[in-house]
Amino acid sequence: MAHAYEALLAEVLIDEARLQRRISELAEQINRDYADCDDLLLLCILKGGVMFLTDLSRKIHIPHMIDFMAASSYGVGARQSSGSVRIDMDLRMDVQGKHVLVVEDIIDSGLTLSFVIKTLENREPASLKLCALLNKQSRREVEIELDYVGFDIENKYVFGYGLDYDEKFRNLPFVGVARGDIPPDA
C-alpha cells in the first residue's frame, strides 16, 4: 500500500542516514565547544525542532538541560512571514546565568528566531547560541548569525523530520520537498 505522504512528496532531499550523520557531527562540535560547561540548556523551538532536539540531545555527552518554547508568525499563509511574531508557549526555566543553545528546525526569513533571540537576551543568559538543522539563506529578511547549521538548502517547501505539511508528516525520518514546491495553504 502506498504511504499517504507519497502523493505530496516530490523528492527526498535529505535521507535518514545523512541527517543522522550530520547531527552526530554537530553534536561532536557542541561536545567540544561546551566541554567545560555545566549549565547548558538546549532550548527547542516547537513544534518543528522536536525531532532534531531529541536526536541531538542523545548525541551530546556533556550534562545538559532541555526546555521548550513555541513561537509563531501570524497574519499570513505558510510561506510568508508577516513580521508579527508571538510567543505561544514560554519556557519554564529561568535562563539567567545559563548557557542557552536554541535548537530550531529551519530558518527562513529569520523573523521568528530574531524575536526569540530578543526575548531571551532580555533575560540575561550567560551565553546564547543558535543551532538550526536547515537554513534557507536566500529567504533571509533579518540578519542572523547561526553558530551551528545542519544543511543549507534552496528555497523549497520541505516537510518531514519535525517539519509539517498541513500539521502532518512531522514523523517522517527524512526531509522531503513538497510536490510542486507548494505549501499546503498556497
Which positions ≥6 away from 173 have C-beta within 8 Å?
16, 19, 160, 161
Scan residues 5-44 and list those touching ligand 5GP (CB under 6 A). Answer: none
Least distance CB 36 / ligand 5GP (angstroms):
31
List the end-to-end C-alpha distance of the chain, in Å, as a whole number: 28
**Contact residue for ligand 5GP among 73, 119, 127, 137 (CB under 6 A):** 73
Whichever of 34 and 159 has its CB closer to ligand 5GP, that residue is 159
Q: Which of residues 42-61 bind ligand 5GP (CB under 6 A)?
A: 48
Does position 135 interact with ligand 5GP (CB under 6 A)? The reply is: no
- Residue 20 phi, psi (nearest 5): -65, -35
Does residue 107 touch ligand 5GP according to CB under 6 A?
yes
Tell me which stretch binds ligand 5GP (CB under 6 A): 18-26, 36-44, 86-94, 154-162. 154-162
Note if 108 is an active site residue: yes
Q: In the numeric block, which cell numbers belong to residue 100?
A: 542557552
Tell me the closest approach of the beta carbon of residue 112 to ligand 5GP, in angstroms.
Answer: 3
The residue within the footprint of ligand 5GP, chosen from 34, 68, 112, 128 (CB under 6 A), is 112
Query: Does residue number 116 form part of the binding site for ligand 5GP (CB under 6 A)?
Result: no
Residues 147 and 118: their CA atoms lie apart, in Å, by 16
At residue 140, the 3 state secondary structure works out as coil
Angle at 106 between CA 88 and CA 143, to 5 degrees: 90
Contacts of 58 (CB under 8 A, 6+ apart): none
Size of the site for ligand 5GP (CB under 6 A): 17
Nearer to ligand 5GP, 44 or 81 (CB): 81
N residues, the chain: 186
C-alpha cell at 88: 505561544
The catalytic residue among 94, 108, 164, 166 is 108
Between strands 127-135 and 175-178, the pairing is unpaired
- Contact residues toward ligand 5GP (CB under 6 A) are 48, 73, 81, 105-113, 157-159, 163-164
Task: List the catalytic residues.
Answer: 108
